[in-house]
Amino acid sequence: MKKIVILASGNGTNAQSIIDHFAHSHLVKISLILSNKPQAYVLERGTKAGISVMSFNKFAFAKAEHVQRLLNEEQPDLIVLAGFLWKIPSFLIQDHPNKIINIHPALLPNYGGKGMYGMNVHRAIIENKEKESGITIHYVTENYDEGAIIKHATCTIGKEDTAEDLAAKIQVLEQKHFAITIEELLQ
């Protein structure tokens, strides 16, 4: 059985989509959900689904090697960032080469980098009057949003669309493509 560990920082809508997708799988198991925010709703989502959950602070993540130890013990086939906002330390990337993926709410390489997440991305795209946007599923490297692209999915932007309208379109793409792409990577 293939194992997934999810890292998330917030509500966990993408994590829930992944949980739902693999809920009855005999081939893939979500073994752990980790969050850098102890009050993140994603932890409740995981608990309700019978998945082990844990929160951690910046020290445990980057300095104390607590999360590193957990991941090395877990030996996941894939580590999925689902709305996780911290930069991944290089030692975790080295421990799990080509096993950490992220979903970004824009078509990389455009609108990526530090600070480019969530509504920040959508507002920038609308302000620049782009006609198209989408999602990028990519491998994680030491630099924000610069890993090899696994998949793009696109949507059109109407002339009257707001950043909120674009966010809703992006969420549909995330729900449609993320779990399926994870499944394809694990085959």
- Residues taking part in catalysis: 104
Residues in Cβ contact with 61 at an 8 Å cutoff, skipping those fewer than 6 apart: 36, 67, 86, 89
CB half-sphere exposure, 118, CA atoms < 13 A? 11
Burial zone of 27 (CB within 10 Å; 0-12 exposed, 13-18 middle, 19+ buried): exposed
Q: Which residue has the tokens 């421990």?
A: 95
Task: Tell me which residue has tokens 């030491």.
Answer: 142
Between the alpha carbon of residue 121 and those of residues 18, 85, 107, 126, 164, the distances in Å are 23, 13, 10, 9, 11
Asked if the peptide bond before residue 109 counts as cis, ω within 30 degrees of 0, the response is yes
Residue 145 C-alpha from the chain's centroid: 11
